[in-house]
Structure 1
Amino acid sequence: AEAIVEAELHFDTMSDDREGGVVKVEFYSNEATKFAEVGPLPERPEWGEGDRRTISHKFTTPIPLPDRVAFARISLTKAEETNIGWNFEATLTLKTDRGRSIVFEGKDLRLDTTGKRRPRTATLNIPRVR
């Protein structure tokens, strides 16, 4: 059976006031079933405006590819500070042992756990595009 061996997470940051809020990425086959997760992603060095960052994560044990892959979920943990916000774009790619790529893409995304500037959003679902 085909298995997922690696995740490549590319983030393009427009602005970032997380001050320690940590990012986690999870992959779901349906609303209730998570099959893979990466994170929490490191905050050092700090992420800044105009920052492009690619994180490659190899899974120590290959993950069986589910029949259906629905979406990826990006979440932001609550940090010590109150000024938590992150504007970004994301391209998330799962790579299989057969050389296939499953890609999720989101543009003009915003996470803010405090709701100080926009409605409180701690998690976002990112659709699969191919």
Structure 2
Amino acid sequence: MSLIKNQNKEKNEMEFNVLRSLYSNPGFTQRKLSSHLGVSLGSVNYCINALIDKGLVKVRRFKNSSTKQKYLYLLTPEGVIEKSRLTLSFLERKNAEYLRLQNEIESLKSELKDNQVESYK
């Protein structure tokens, strides 16, 4: 796979994961989102800002009880549509991977059988 295609795939997957997480947890802080997704805080910040620039996420500020500013990340209607599109793409990609793995497993089992090795449990 070319470098640009791989970078686009990773970017789409990151956007999908951020949109999916914010859809379920709009009160996540960027730090909490970073921890939840297992990526750097800078990556989350960059992705959220890109999603805001695209009009897929909007930010609402409010004060919590300790007088600190807190943000609520809400998906716009376009953000919900994009999340759905990315979900479908993700499912298609994972299903194709699953089918490739199934075929590889069957091929390996057949190879073992041909070599008269006890079947894999």
Q: TM-score interval w.r.t. the shorter chain?
A: under 0.3
TM-score, normalised on structure 2?
0.24
Q: Which has the higher helix share?
A: 2
Q: Which has the higher contact order (CA 8 A, sep 6+)?
A: 1
Which of the pair has more CA radius of gyration?
2
Q: Which has the higher strand share?
A: 1
TM-score, normalised on structure 1?
0.23
